[in-house]
Chain A
Amino acid sequence: MYAESQVASAAPRLPGKLPLTATLLLLGALAASAAPWFLERDPVSVVSAFWSYDGGDYTSVLAHFSWAPRVSIALLIGCGLGLAGAVTQQVLGNPLASPTTLGVEAGGQFGVTLATLFAPALLAFSQDLVAVAGGLLAIGMVIALTWRLGFSPVTVILAGLVITFFMGALNMAFMLIKGEWLGNLFIWGAGSLVQNSWQPFMDLWPRVLILGAALVLLMRPLQLLQIGQASASSLGARVGLLRMLALFLVVLMSATVVSRVGVVAFVGLAAPVLARLLGARTLQERLIWSMLLGGGLLLLADTLAHWASSWGDGSLVPTGTTTALIGGPIILLALQGFKNTHHMPGQESNPGAFLPKRRSVLVTGAVLLCLLLATFFVSMGWSPGLQEWSWTPIADWGEAWVWRGPRLLAAILAGVCLGLAGSLIQRMTGNVMASPELLGISGGAALVMVLIVLTGTEIGRAGQLGAATLGAAGALGLLILLARRHRFAGNQLLLGGLALYVFMDSGLRLVMASGGTVAAKLLNWMYGATWLISETEALSLLGLTLVICLTLFVAIRPLTLLALGDTSASSLGLPVTRARLGLLILAAILTAAATVVIGPLSFVGLIAPHLARVLGQQTVGRQMIGSALAGGLLLALADYLSRIVIFPSQLPAGLLAALVGGIYFLWGLSRHGRA
């Protein structure tokens, strides 16, 4: 038999740093949270606040009914979400999966928003029900979207982000149309743990406990998933059923939490990632330590939020903001050790072949161009007046141009830029779900804008443009630094983008929570209010776009080569690293130019390249032409519709594009999932 025996190794042990960190985190967070109380009261009475109070002493009442339940609920929710996150990661074999990244929390929030607006009675009947329905909807969509694409981790996360954006856009649309009803949903949506009695905690703990126990019971079958679908099922596990059941429990857990305290983002992601980084290896270890670390993390985040609220100008800082702030760096940390070779265990890695018939670029291009021109004419001429719809005679177009021209031109150009940037990025990363929105370049620009709004600086329109470009460049620089280690490999870039998005998101939540006119202004920009564009801006955007289009001719062949993989590309004589850097810069400039016009959240950069492929443009050059035209067309339409849909008021064009685009995207992907 096998004879050799060189190295006998000892059984691996749990690294000491794991329990140490968890203990420090929990104790530290607890101490930090209790610190203000120690100043006013003696230690014994602080601890006893958990079960008793002295009715005559105000601070004692406060400690018992506000501080103690808040700490308890933070710990409880943190543990629940940490456990749910660890299970999600195991089920999908994906180190970045979590209720947040799969869109479950956004879905739950969407469900509650809808119920608040249209069926308040349902909400009174059961909050959990609507939240669970929303969460199931979201995760169902993510799974349907990525089924045929092999569940590769990055694809799943991107689909989750798309769903999150989409639900966010829907939420926002309701907010803009029926703003007066939803004001307090802002704060709720951002995840606030402020308590004023023990009731919510008492409601919550049995549910979390039962769901947690159910998840733990699934441990052994879940362990089988680690060795792949084929092997797991040949060992007798019903893989499909098991996945469904585990994900259903995860959705129940997250939705229960969301329906009570709002979106507490990223605890479910950060805790398991942290546990893994600190050396939790087996499933059992991961579940236990994720749970404990989740409790600690959320308590810490909540304490930070509490301090920020009380030291700031009195405005409420929701806990969701601070968890997002903690979540971002942890994703970055995870990036360092994240090997991208993982696919969902057992799933074949090649996505189902998806190649529509090729069509002539001339015909397709001509058709798209005609449609674009038609949209241009209609948009310039045919518009609703106060009484009725009317044509503006061509002779009057000179005057109409001032009102309709710049915004239309800018929208078209932004569409062209996004379409090009999307094609570039999809080709570079070899991932059909990639886009500038998801790369975080738009997010970088948005983050700067958010900061400007937060600090209350007034810098005018030109200043805003400059700042947004700076932000985009900053995001790009950060991405390059991050990605250098991975030689600009596509998927690492996308994950860096995800982290940037997290930061942006937390900033946004903060602004939303502070409310007021500032928030409205920011919202309009975020969702692409094209009416802010002046003629000079539109014309200079035109110049920029033309220059970049010329540069892109040089990029076509390197892009084709890069798709073969680094090894083949470099052995064919392409300086891979330099080529990637150049392409990245081009993509960033295009994105920044488009973002200042249309905001960071439209799906055009994702959809236009996809549309070009569906229309039969498969090679790089043709896809770029197709997607530039398609992008222009999409945003031209969005701009026109945004003017007329709720005339005489206006919707931001980017919001409309995001809604329409999101629907197209879901439809398109589910369609080629069936093919």
Chain B
Amino acid sequence: MSAFFEVSSLGVRIGDTTIVNDINLDFREGEVTALLGHNGSGKSTLLKVLARQLSPAKGDVRLVGNRNHRTDAREFARTVGYLPQHPPGTDGLTVSELVALGRYPWRGPLGRYTPDDYACIDQAIADTGLTPFRHRSVDTLSGGERQRAWIAMLLAQQTQCLLLDEPISALDVKHQVETLRLVHRLAEERDLTVVVVLHDVDLAARFCDRLVALRGGRLIADGTPQEIMNSGTLESIYGVPMGVMERAPGQWVSYVH
């Protein structure tokens, strides 16, 4: 598998504070990677740099293949989709109107929407189980439904890569699992590269191919769930004594001592 993003000696500063320091990392094509770490460890910042929302103070991010990380804004948006941690209020847009905005990178300011676009929009809405709500205003939905509406918009964007910043923080267990399962399935079917910031390490281990952990802006762990899910590594990530049980192959339960 070739690398989709190549991050080399990346450093990010906000004011005088160094948020991310000297990170070297590849995100491989078709792989679902979870970013783990405690609050303030630099996960969201790293994701923002990947999404070109922040420019690094030092180092470089390359989109590999024939794609350039410094390409035109709309072309980049056809390649990489980004879901911010706190999507803002949408001021009366309905679900289907919000999802339709995901086609902008493909159609631009004046291009007409084709039936294909509408099919894509409908498919995204159906994939996230929002068909009954499609004409409801996004602002009136519950937190979880709103989060799914945003994910649907990202799906309609039809990118090769999804960058999700805590996409399941407002969801109940059922929807957490279903959302991650959807992401995983899409990644397999469409060969998507996914980088997702998660707080629940058990779900991350269950649904992601690879776990990457940051602490204080530095990379401290990188590997398959098998390699990460042991008490020593988890302790070094979160800074509290932790234990891990493997109930069945690929299903871990972590707990705090």
Given the contacts A227-B88, A234-B81, A217 and B109 also touching, CB distance less than 8 Å: yes
Given the contacts A221-B109, A236-B75, A227 and B104 also touching, CB distance less than 8 Å: no
B87 at the interface (CB under 8 A from A): yes
Given the contacts A228-B88, A342-B89, A346-B88, A234 and B77 also touching, CB distance less than 8 Å: yes
Asked whether B92 lies within 8 Å of A281 as measured between CB atoms, the reply is yes
Q: Report A145-169 CB contacts with B as 1/0, cut-off 8 Å.
A: 0000000000000000000000000
A345 at the interface (CB under 8 A from B): yes
- Please name all residues of chain A whose beta carbon is closer than 8 Å to the beta carbon of B178 when the two chains form the complex: 1-2
User: What is the CA–CA distance of A10 and B135 in the complex, to the nearest angstrom?
Assistant: 6
Asked whether A237 lies within 8 Å of B73 as measured between CB atoms, the reply is yes
Select B135's contact among A2, A11, A230, beta carbons within 8 Å: A11
- Please name all residues of chain A whose beta carbon is closer than 8 Å to the beta carbon of B72 when the two chains form the complex: 236
B127 at the interface (CB under 8 A from A): yes
Asked whether A224 lies within 8 Å of B104 as measured between CB atoms, the reply is yes
B90 at the interface (CB under 8 A from A): yes
- Counting chain A residues whose Cβ lies within 8 A of the other chain, the interface size class is 35 or more
B91 at the interface (CB under 8 A from A): yes
Closest to A242 in B: B109
Binds A, one of B94-102, B219-227, B231-239: B94-102
Asked whether A236 lies within 8 Å of B129 as measured between CB atoms, the reply is no
Asked whether B109 lies within 8 Å of A9 as measured between CB atoms, the reply is no
- Please name all residues of chain A whose beta carbon is closer than 8 Å to the beta carbon of B136 when the two chains form the complex: 9
Asked whether A1 lies within 8 Å of B182 as measured between CB atoms, the reply is yes
In the complex, chain B residues 123-157 whose Cβ is within 8 Å of any chain A Cβ? 127-133, 135-137, 148, 150, 153, 157
Asked whether B94 lies within 8 Å of A343 as measured between CB atoms, the reply is no
Given the contacts A233-B53, A234-B77, A346-B88, A2 and B105 also touching, CB distance less than 8 Å: no
Q: Which of B53, B87, B105, B109 has the most CB of A within 10 A?
A: B109
A282 at the interface (CB under 8 A from B): yes
Closest to A230 in B: B84
Chain B nearest Cβ from A317, distance in angstroms: 37
- Counting chain B residues whose Cβ lies within 8 A of the other chain, the interface size class is 35 or more
Select A234's contact among B80, B90, B132, beta carbons within 8 Å: B80
Asked whether B101 lies within 8 Å of A223 as measured between CB atoms, the reply is yes
Select B73's contact among A10, A233, A341, beta carbons within 8 Å: A233
Closest to B98 in A: A227
A7 at the interface (CB under 8 A from B): yes
Chain A nearest Cβ from B254, distance in angstroms: 27
B248 at the interface (CB under 8 A from A): no
Given the contacts A1-B178, A236-B105, A230 and B82 also touching, CB distance less than 8 Å: yes
Closest to A343 in B: B88
In the complex, chain A residues 1-32 whose Cβ is within 8 Å of any chain B Cβ? 1-12
Q: Which of A6, A230, A231 has the most CB of B within 10 A?
A: A231
Chain A nearest Cβ from B95, distance in angstroms: 10
A534 at the interface (CB under 8 A from B): no
User: What is the CA–CA distance of A341 and B51 in the complex, to the nearest angstrom?
Assistant: 26
- Please name all residues of chain B whose beta carbon is closer than 8 Å to the beta carbon of A41 when the two chains form the complex: none
B38 at the interface (CB under 8 A from A): no
Select B105's contact among A6, A217, A235, A346, beta carbons within 8 Å: A235
B175 at the interface (CB under 8 A from A): yes
B93 at the interface (CB under 8 A from A): yes
Closest to B78 in A: A236
Asked whether B128 lies within 8 Å of A2 as measured between CB atoms, the reply is yes
- Please name all residues of chain B whose beta carbon is closer than 8 Å to the beta carbon of A1 when the two chains form the complex: 127, 129, 178, 182
B256 at the interface (CB under 8 A from A): no
Chain B nearest Cβ from A202, distance in angstroms: 30
Select A235's contact among B102, B133, B137, beta carbons within 8 Å: B102
- Please name all residues of chain A whose beta carbon is closer than 8 Å to the beta carbon of B104 when the two chains form the complex: 220-221, 224, 235-237
Closest to A348 in B: B86
Closest to A234 in B: B82
Asked whether B91 lies within 8 Å of A342 as measured between CB atoms, the reply is yes
- Please name all residues of chain A whose beta carbon is closer than 8 Å to the beta carbon of B135 when the two chains form the complex: 9-12
Write the residues of chain B forming the contact surface with A, with a CB cutoff of 8 angstroms: 51-53, 72-78, 80-84, 87-94, 97-98, 101-102, 104-105, 107-110, 127-133, 135-137, 148, 150, 153, 157, 175, 178, 182
Beyond A2-B129, A93-B91, A226-B90, 9 extra complex contacts between A and B, CB < 8 Å: A2-B148, A2-B178, A4-B129, A220-B107, A233-B52, A234-B80, A236-B75, A236-B105, A346-B88
Write the residues of chain A forming the contact surface with B, with a CB cutoff of 8 angstroms: 1-12, 93, 217-221, 223-224, 226-228, 230-231, 233-238, 281-282, 341-343, 345-346
